[in-house]
Amino acid sequence: MSERTGEPIMDSWPGYDLDLFTYPQHYYGDLDYVLIPHGIIVDRIERLAKDILKDIGYCDIVILCVLKGGYKFCADLVEHLKNISRNSDRFVSMKVDFIRLKSYRNDQSMGEMQIIGGHDLSTLAGKNVLIVENQAFLQKRKLAQQNHMYIIDVVGTGKTMKVLLSSIKKYKPNMIKVASLLVKRTPRSDGFRPDYVGFEIPNLFVVGYALDYNEYFRDLNHICVINEHGKEKYRV
């Protein structure tokens, strides 16, 4: 496995029994199993932080956090980045900004992405821009290492990121890379591949670690697979 392409979780992986972990009692009966325990998530994010700083050479970073699902991943990643910077001989300035994308209703991806917020992206005007849409294109180009913008997200089909990348193009940041906690193996995928991936997972609807189902399960620390009872219970 390449450190940046993500730890693959096979389709045949049975997951962890819920009885091995603590989780909110109000979700008893709503989950099938734990796909990724919280401790493994945190350790993987620490490795991603090391890879990011190694790549950019301790340059300043503007971090765009995609709410709501990305906030926990973003917070943990930023904390690891700060810890690495704190123990190095160079200070890395990190500015965090936020945007919200709406793409799911119940467990179905909607046809069009709704971008909410993003007015602060106008501060990127006048900077050099290089939008990277896929990994092959990234490998063939030499990227300037000046002002960097990192996007923190959870990627389903890749359409979400493409919409966001297209929308910020007019603001002309010098460079954009994408760090994603999860990438799903799905027939609907359009081939988009983030620069940094935490885990590559089967085509499952997962909740926890700030990933929700109609606003529920954000308080679940582990990444779990919701069962049909849970979907029906919290359906809108």
The pLDDT tens digits for 82-138 are 999 898 888 878 878 777 766 555 555 555 566 666 556 777 654 322 222 222 222
Distances (CA, A) of 218 to 25, 68, 103, 211, 235: 14, 9, 16, 6, 15
Q: Supply the DSSP symbol for 83.
A: H
Instruction: Give the number of C-alpha atoms closer than 13 A to the C-alpha of residue 16, restricted to the C-beta side.
Output: 15
The pair of three-digit structure tokens given for residue 204, joined into one six-digit string: 């499952």
Tokens of 132: 């990277």
Coil, helix or strand for 30? coil
Rg of the Cα atoms in the chain: 18
Residues 65 and 98 sit within 8 Å (Cβ to Cβ):
yes
Residue-wise pLDDT tens digits, 200-215: 888 888 999 988 899 9
Q: How far apart are CA 63 and CA 106, in angstroms?
A: 28
pLDDT score at 232? 96
Length of the chain: 236
Predicted TM-score (pTM) of this structure: 0.79
d(CA 40, CA 43): 5
Q: Which pLDDT value is given to residue 41? A: 94
Among the listed residues 154, 149, 4, 6, the one whose alpha carbon sits nearest the alpha carbon of residue 70: 154
